[in-house]
Amino acid sequence: MSSEPTILITGATAGFGQSTALRFARAGWRVVATGRRLERLESLKDELGDSCHILELDIRDRDRVMRTLGSLPRPFDCVDVLVNNAGLALGLEPAHDTDLENWEVMVDTNVKGLLYATRAVLPGMVSRNHGHVVNIGSIAATTPYPGGNVYGATKAFVHQFSRNLRADLLGTAVRVTNVEPGLAETEFAIVRFKGDAERAKAFYKGADPLTGDDIAEIVFWVATLPPHVNVNLMEIMPVSQAWGPPAIHRKS
């Protein structure tokens, strides 16, 4: 790793992505930050200066992702760490009542977008025999809940794709980590509830949830371990969260 390593973060305009950009920048890393909200990216660049390269980018746009992430300008072109953070949940309706478009957006973002970014950056890592792919998953990958249907399924994809990447990359020095947060207060709930801030606030009330800074610190830790160490999976919950007993519907 160079004295000024480079991290590329998708979905860097808020939440885990923004916190991760700030955490790595404080440690002297170059940051490539992507997102759809240009004004937020510009604010991030104003804060980080020349060490930050911003890209207004919809991660669902395969051609543009492949073109822009595969041809970054110097000195940002050798990506040491890719953080696949862009993702979202939409709605909590049961499968038989949901809006099909919500399902499609989640698949296009959480699955396809992650695939595009990985495929754009990974060949350079392999050719340099150095790099680290950090995928931001969710406990929803293995812990189902009512209304989690396709969101949980997309994160189950991230879980298994991360493991299969490790299998493909055996014999290289490229690392892969899947970070699976539980309850975390970011803009996640506001997006899920289509901008209903009051409903989002109630979702976290009294829970002392994880924060973006908590996850950023974890990403920084796994990325800066000795290069022979690979953390395959980290599942993180706030102390206030745990698993419940199996749900049983009983006839009245």
Is residue 204 part of the annotated active site? The answer reads no
The reported pLDDT for the residue numbered 201 is: 83
Catalytic residue among 116, 145, 151, 204: 151
The reported pLDDT for the residue numbered 51 is: 96
Nearest CA among 133, 189, 146 for reference residue 10? 133
The reported pLDDT for the residue numbered 1 is: 58
Model pTM?
0.94
Provide the pairing of β-strand 233-236 with 174-181.
Answer: parallel
The reported pLDDT for the residue numbered 192 is: 80
Q: Report how far residue 83's alpha carbon sits from residue 246's, in angstroms, rounded to the nearest whole number.
A: 34
The reported pLDDT for the residue numbered 2 is: 60
The reported pLDDT for the residue numbered 234 is: 98
What residues in the chain have per-residue pLDDT under 50?
none
The reported pLDDT for the residue numbered 191 is: 79
Q: Report how far residue 33's alpha carbon sits from residue 45's, in angstroms, rounded to the nearest whole number.
A: 9
The reported pLDDT for the residue numbered 186 is: 82
Exposure letters 118-130 (e unless 16+ CB within 10 A, then b): bebbbebbeeeeb
The reported pLDDT for the residue numbered 203 is: 81
Domains of the chain: 6-236 (3.40.50.720)
